[in-house]
């Protein structure tokens, strides 16, 4: 009898502790959480000022639309149509009438207020648990008005973090290769955009072929491959200043660059005389270190988040497979043993998984496996897709897909796609032009 009581108490305790709503992101979320994003309230004076500066009629509702769209895109939330809202934004932000929000089946509610203070944009917002009738979070911050889209992303990150228990990925950018022209004479430019496709900017003119840009995990630097003067070399680009310089100036092609987790080194392949080996270059003192030494092709290196290990692609067994080794090149171990060819291993920022591209029986797959090669899980199958890149919280993968051409060799497209680690919420990421080789930045920081 006593034992039975104990068990009941043990079961009740954790439930009571987590009485407020939460979103489980570890499995495919088939019933996204109904959430109401109330337009942020705005006074007439602030409205006028922001309209003058930003040419936006109502900044409060513009920001709420960003939040709403982000939440919807995550696949974990189901934002409720604003037409059904009963309570006005200004009053809701003071004290929501939970019955009204409950009536339209909202389980969570976001309210807020934007004001124009000393030429700055001040935002406060609150997250409410509608069923429990409680405030879950309240935050305020001030920034320059031109940052208004970021405000929407930061709010989303905070809400996501509070409800899922994991850090968000909305205040981030994607660097990618914008593509134009026919398949045989493709013009490629580096481009950058916010994670939601806004603020798109081209960073090169398309005069030379550029490939595989990758964000630094610590700052706004990007490393990529450029065919400037027909010499394929690894370059470094400061996205803020536009300054670029060659870093892989070896007597041969350098390619497949990535940053080390501390952003201080670039790891890349150097191809010469038909073989490719992996090297690192320290960006401060320019010291070059050779990591692999094998007559095979060793490429696509990617560090573990603690920097102690490297995963890479090699055909030393005869075919493309995935390997891991210590960061000094020792203890090389093959980890992919399934049917087919494996490429582009990328270590998850959480450390526990490696995402990859797999080619098997004429189909391309994006998948993940544990770092010892077990637990392989294929997330998506297509005619052609490759090069996954992790969202900074390790929950979402972005990659690119190319289409099969028709019998006349026409109809080629390249587009960015994203998919949840669970294998759900697969969708195309809209871009102005055709696009490939996406790389996700870390959180920009407040």
Partner 1 sequence: MNLSKTIKNGFLILIASLVLTACATKKTTGQLQGDVYTGSDTIEFLASGVPDRVFFATNETVLTTASRETLRKQASWLRKNSDINVVLEGHADERGTREYNLALGERRANSAKDYLMTYGISSNRISTLSYGKERPVDSGSNPLSWSKNRRSVTVKTN
- Of the candidate spans 54-62, 242-250, 326-334, 337-345, the one that interacts with partner 1 by CB under 8 A turns out to be 337-345
- Token pair of 314 as six digits: 């090699």
Cβ neighbours of residue 106 closer than 8 Å, sequence gap 6 or more: 34, 35, 36, 80, 130
Burial state string for 293-314 with b = 16 or more CB within 10 A and e = fewer than 16: eeeebbbbbbbbbeeebbbbbb
Nearer to partner 1 among residue 111 and residue 336 (C-beta): 336
> Does residue 204 bind partner 1 (CB under 8 A)?
no
Applying the rule CB under 8 A, the residues between 214 and 233 that interact with partner 1 are 225, 230, 232
- Of the candidate spans 154-162, 322-330, 390-398, 406-414, the one that interacts with partner 1 by CB under 8 A turns out to be 406-414
> Does residue 302 bind partner 1 (CB under 8 A)?
no
Residue 275 beta carbon to partner 1: minimum distance, rounded to whole angstroms? 7
Residue 364 beta carbon to partner 1: minimum distance, rounded to whole angstroms? 8
Please give the Cα distance from 225 to 235 (Å, whole number): 6
Please give the Cα distance from 56 to 429 (Å, whole number): 25
> Does residue 439 bind partner 1 (CB under 8 A)?
no
* 3-state SS record for 121-134: EEEEEEEEECCCCE
Please give the Cα distance from 132 to 17 (Å, whole number): 13
Please give the Cα distance from 260 to 305 (Å, whole number): 8
> Does residue 434 bind partner 1 (CB under 8 A)?
no
Please give the Cα distance from 394 to 389 (Å, whole number): 9
> Does residue 179 bind partner 1 (CB under 8 A)?
no
Please give the Cα distance from 422 to 25 (Å, whole number): 8
Residue 287 beta carbon to partner 1: minimum distance, rounded to whole angstroms? 24
Count residues contacting partner 1 (CB under 8 A)?
A: 45
> Does residue 315 bind partner 1 (CB under 8 A)?
yes
Among 240, 331, 410, 445, binds partner 1 (CB under 8 A): 410
- Token pair of 310 as six digits: 């490297």
CA distances from 238 to 9, 82, 172, 282, 439 (A): 57, 41, 16, 16, 15
Nearer to partner 1 among residue 139 and residue 297 (C-beta): 297
Among 81, 184, 285, 339, binds partner 1 (CB under 8 A): 184
> Does residue 276 bind partner 1 (CB under 8 A)?
yes
Please give the Cα distance from 444 to 317 (Å, whole number): 41
Nearer to partner 1 among residue 164 and residue 299 (C-beta): 299
Binding residues vs partner 1 (CB under 8 A): 182-184, 186, 209, 211-212, 225, 230, 232, 252-253, 255-256, 269, 271, 273-276, 297, 299-300, 313, 315, 319-320, 341, 343-344, 357, 359, 362, 383-384, 386-387, 402, 404-405, 407, 409-410, 412, 437
């Amino acid at each position: 009898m006593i034992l039975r009581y104990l068990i009941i108490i043990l079961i009740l305790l954790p439930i009571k502790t987590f009485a407020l709503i939460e979103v489980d992101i570890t499995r495919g979320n088939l019933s996204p959480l109904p959430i109401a994003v109330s337009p942020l309230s705005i006074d007439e004076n602030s409205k006028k000022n922001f309209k003058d500066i930003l040419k936006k009629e109502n900044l409060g509702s513009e920001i709420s639309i960003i939040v709403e769209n982000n939440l919807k895109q995550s696949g974990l939330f189901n934002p409720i149509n604003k037409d059904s809202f009963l309570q006005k934004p200004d009053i809701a932000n003071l004290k929501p009438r939970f019955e009204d929000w409950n009536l339209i089946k909202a389980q969570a509610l976001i309210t807020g207020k934007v004001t124009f203070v000393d030429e700055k944009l001040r935002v406060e917002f609150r997250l409410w648990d509608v069923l429990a009738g409680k405030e879950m979070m309240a935050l305020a911050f001030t920034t320059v008005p031109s940052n208004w889209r970021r405000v929407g992303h930061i709010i989303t990150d905070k809400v996501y973090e509070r409800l899922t228990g994991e850090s968000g990925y909305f205040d981030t950018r994607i660097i990618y290769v914008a593509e134009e022209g026919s398949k045989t004479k493709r013009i490629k430019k580096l481009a950058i955009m916010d994670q939601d496709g806004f603020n798109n900017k081209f960073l090169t003119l398309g005069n030379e072929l550029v490939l595989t840009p990758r964000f630094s995990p610590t700052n706004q630097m990007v490393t990529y491959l450029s065919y400037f003067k027909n010499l394929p070399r690894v370059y470094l680009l400061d996205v803020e200043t536009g300054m670029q310089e060659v870093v892989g100036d070896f007597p041969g092609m350098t390619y497949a660059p990535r940053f080390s987790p501390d952003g201080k080194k670039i790891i890349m392949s150097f191809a010469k005389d038909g073989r490719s080996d992996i090297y690192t270059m320290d960006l401060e003192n320019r010291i070059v270190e050779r990591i692999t030494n094998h007559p095979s092709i060793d490429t696509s290196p990617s560090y573990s988040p603690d920097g102690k290990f490297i995963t890479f692609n090699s055909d030393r067994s005869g075919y493309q497979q995935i390997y891991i080794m210590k960061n000094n090149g020792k203890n090389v171990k093959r980890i992919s043993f399934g049917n087919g060819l494996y490429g582009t291993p990328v270590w998850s920022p959480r450390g526990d998984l490696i995402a990859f591209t797999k080619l098997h029986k004429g189909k391309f797959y994006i998948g993940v496996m544990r770092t010892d090669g077990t637990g392989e899980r294929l997330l998506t199958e297509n005619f052609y897709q490759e090069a996954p890149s992790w969202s900074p919280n390790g929950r979402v993968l972005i990659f690119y897909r190319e289409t099969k051409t028709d019998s006349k060799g026409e109809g080629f497209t390249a587009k960015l796609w994203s998919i949840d680690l669970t294998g759900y919420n697969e969708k195309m990421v809209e871009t102005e032009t055709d696009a490939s080789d996406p790389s996700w930045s870390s959180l920009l920081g407040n």
